[in-house]
Chain A
Amino acid sequence: MIGESMYQELILEHYKHPQGRGLRDPYDAEVHHVNPTCGDEITLRVKLGDGGKIEDVSYDGQGCSISQAAASVLHELTTGSTVEDTLSVVDEFTRLMQGRGKVEADEDVLGDAVAFAGVAKFPARVKCALLSWMAYKDAVVRSAAR
């Protein structure tokens, strides 16, 4: 029953009750990313605040439970943190997802995002989990460039 390790309760919870969903103004950068193999898509906005902090991450999109839950967890982990801290979370999450299930997750860095560890064993689904996180990284780079 591999499915149970992939569809963690926490993932289903975020899927059914997404946090911070919906596009909000004002924002510093907006990006639109798609996963061409499955048609999942996300529009994501980043608003930077004082002291190098992320004031808001808002998003809208469609896709499977993994991609939608990943966006919800991303919102929770990034909003209120510094840009620098969030980018190290993105790096750790990317390392975990691309580790083919053989990478030990750093729970201190990842928080709730460790629930996605099981997804790394499914190459076809890794892109679903990473969609919003890659969009976030892109948006942060663009906001900083402004």
Chain B
Amino acid sequence: MTSTSLDVERIRKDFPVLSRELPGGRPLVYLDSGNSSQKPTAVVETMREHLAMHYSNVGRAMHVLGAESTEAYESARDKVADFIGAPSRDEVIFTKNASEALNLVAYSFGNPANTDPRFTLGPGDEVVISEMEHHSNIVPWQFLVQRTGATLKWFGVTDDGRLDISDISGLITERTKIVSIAHQSNVLGTINPVADVLRRAREVGALVMLDASQSVPHHAVNMAELGADFVAFTGHKMVGPSGIGVLWGRAELLDAMPPFMGGGEMIEAVWMDHSTYAPVPHKFEAGTPPIVEAIGLGAAVDYLTGVGMEAIEAHERGLTAYALDALREVPTLRLIGPESLDQRGAILSFTLGGIHPHDVGQLLDDEFGIAVRVGHHCARPLHLRFGIPATTRASFYLYNTTGEIDALVRGLHHVQKVFA
């Protein structure tokens, strides 16, 4: 049904788990990639090969294996930098996940060790987030304002699941130090109007951070074109392993920021009473990093590039259009998020009459092998905004098919029958 240049059947063969059978002979229908994606053989094999034949510590071991590991780790950084169009490879900092990347930036503000006015924060200063954020883009900023006495403000969300920018000038003001919002919502699927937010932030001299965990895996995202100051994303949602995330930041900002964690490899020289720090990116990579995970992320980026991000985006767009139509036919289903394809990604969250999402998810899994996510998806304030405790969420990726969406719709009809 979808018009796309992407050969889904061939792609599915790259992901061994997609052809496994679940207990009871059910095929797997994996519609939970927004939570975490599956891994292609290329990623698994790259990691296995490195662990088996090349592994050692990076940056400090003066032997062949150390050199091979360092080379592989740093070339993963090159690949990621390339993939996101980073002006410099040194702007790519490996973290353990997107949460750590967000925390890293939040902790730079109001750090007593910092002297740069861009990162000083106190009473009267403001931080702006939004009501549609994942908890990882809420809680670190709550910590920050608690530490510093600054004020937390947020964008609301419209009834159709868009960022409410009607009072953007009242919200982002001369008092705003940083605005941190999702590039794409992990519940609504909404792609936020980054350009509008950036324009206002620039007028008042505020910095802008994007949580791109749901956008970088699914769209061609270019740091130079995007124009933000900081961008966080994570490896496991983009066919890479868990345990590896990325903070991209503009070099001049990263240079000016105080370090986040102290430890090995982030230093230049250490005395008993003080230290000087390594240049970026290593200034922010204290301790032995997730070496094999970074190398796996490099392989993931190679894989996605091989398929083509434009083709992936087009494929997901086709799936989303198909799913929006199909779900519209399910009685009592209420979509939480934009009904149109405009500025939205391949994530569909919904309620089904009065049936609790846990019951929906359990039956879809038990009876049909359909994996969806149920709950508040780490975005409780957004669910409160819509007056619901939880939703059922289907999220698609390059390996999903319209047949799987048909299976979801059949499953939902069955759920309604059981709880009627």
Residues of A within 8 A of B (CB): 1-4, 6-7, 12, 15-16, 37-40, 62-66, 122, 125, 128
Contacts and interface: CB of A to CB of B under 8 A. Distances in A.
Nearest to A124: B358
Interface string B1-28: 0000000000000000000000110000
B380 A7 contact: no
Contact of B419 (A12, A62, A63): A12
A43 B389 CA distance: 16
Nearest to A65: B359
A20 B357 CA distance: 24
Contact of A64 (B24, B359, B380): B359
Q: Which 5 A-B pairs have the closest CB atoms?
A: A3-B366, A64-B356, A39-B389, A64-B358, A2-B366
B362 A38 contact: no
A59 B195 CA distance: 50
B390 interface: yes
A12 B389 CA distance: 21
B187 to A, nearest CB: 14
Nearest to B380: A39
Interface residues of B, number: 21
B177 interface: no
Contacts of A12: 418-419
Interface in B263-289: none
B358 A2 contact: no
B376 interface: yes
B304 to A, nearest CB: 31
Given A4-B366, A16-B419, 16 more contacts: A2-B366, A3-B365, A3-B366, A6-B366, A15-B419, A38-B374, A38-B376, A38-B389, A39-B375, A39-B390, A63-B356, A63-B389, A64-B356, A65-B359, A65-B419, A125-B358
Contact of A65 (B356, B365, B367, B389): B356
A130 to B, nearest CB: 14
